[in-house]
Amino acid sequence: KNSHENWMPYSLIMEIALQPNGFISGYMGTTLKYPEKDLFFRNLDGSGTLLKQIDLRGKTIVNKSVLVSTAIAGGAIIQSFTFDMSVDGELFYTGKAVFGYFSGESLTNQLGIDNGKITNAWFVDNNTPTDNIDVFDLTNQSLALYKAPADKPHYKLAGGQMNFIDTVSVVEGGGKAGVAYVYGERTIDADDWFFRYHFHQDPVMPGSLGVEAIIELMQTYALKNDLGAQFSNPRFIAPMTKVDWKYRGQITPLNKKMSLDVHITEIITEAGEIRIVGDANLSKDGLRIYEVKNIVLSIVEA
């Protein structure tokens, strides 16, 4: 459940877009060339563009998914797809995705995006004084960030299953663009709810939930700075923009810590809208495995 009843979580839009790709791949018998192997299906790259804001409650979403290409070489299978999602004949989300099939061994030995390099938070590498870092404990459900004012009921973090982060650290004026740097951590529990909702006998955190965690990080920054102050009843939305993602690994029950960050690159004030723009990363035990470019969060009047 999101902080506004007609804003479907972006992760769900992504899942609705991407899950038919797996069905098509299975229906086509893609892995039958390697009957002796146990192979795992993973999203590698993708992009999605939200074309229109639609209240999806009570609506039927039609997803036209197309398998564009299949490449098989050296035991690796890579497939490309496109997707177009519509409601009542009107297109509202479109994009493309690349998936691959991998052995369990290759997934265990993945090197991430940086060829095995362990990365740190920006403020660690830049020796930022602790006095310049604001820290929020999101495990504290009495935190003001979860409690919207009576006249602004949607101006808060959603909490519950939409809370993917334990602590958030903010450096104003930090990050690669000098606007702000926002960093989050989560201690991984093998019993975390999302593991059992991935593929059968393949417990990993869905990549879309990593993107959702990044959005939560941006919401925390927005609330911390009261960026919706100009609105009488502010709410968050995913704006009509293109988001690009790259995955080179996954969070599993064996991992100890998930960390993620957003380099805020712009805060744009337009008529009736505040846009927070950033480039984001997500890591497992220090190994960077997700990269999300041009992610945008908007605040508008409810």
As annotated, the active-site residues are 198
Q: How far apart are CA 293 and CA 278, in angstroms?
A: 7
Closest by CA to 166, choosing from 184, 193, 148, is: 184
DSSP classification of residue 122: H
For residue 284, the tally of other CB atoms under 10 A from its CB is 23
Name the token pair of 295: 């992610």
Name the token pair of 246: 């790259």
Token look-up 């899950």 returns: 19
Q: How far apart are CA 277 and CA 267, in angstroms?
A: 6
Contact predicate 262/214, CB 8 Å: yes
Token look-up 């723009």 returns: 277
Report H helices in 149-257.
207-224
Buried b vs exposed e over 26-46: b needs ≥16 C-beta within 10 Å? Answer: eeeebeeeeeeeebbbbbbbb
Contact predicate 251/188, CB 8 Å: yes
